[in-house]
Structure 1
């Protein structure tokens, strides 16, 4: 039963810490653009790979003189 006297203050500290981190995230605009990260998953970057052919060509490693 004496462990509860230790666990309740530790739980209170966790709650205070979680609330402080939440308010820091709100103040630093972490929740401004919630749609962009979700759309990044849906939009594919295959077009960017097709437009840059230099990435698709193998590099020549025999250029050392």
Structure 2
């Protein structure tokens, strides 16, 4: 399980883009978004660096 703080995730559209980016990196992952905390928890067997890169490529670089 990986947890990321995403300061630039500010709305539902952002959350959808984050979810889509993570699913492209690992189609089998489970994503939980906490908009209030600007946090995402990802249950994935993929390496953390791969997921962080997918988020950054989508415009939501982890803090």
Same fold (TM over 0.5): no
TM-score range, shorter chain: under 0.3
TM-score, with normalisation over the residues of structure 2? 0.27
Which one has a larger percent helix, Structure 1 or Structure 2? 1
State the structure with bigger RCO (CA 8 A, min sep 6), 1 or 2. Answer: 2
TM-score, with normalisation over the residues of structure 1? 0.26
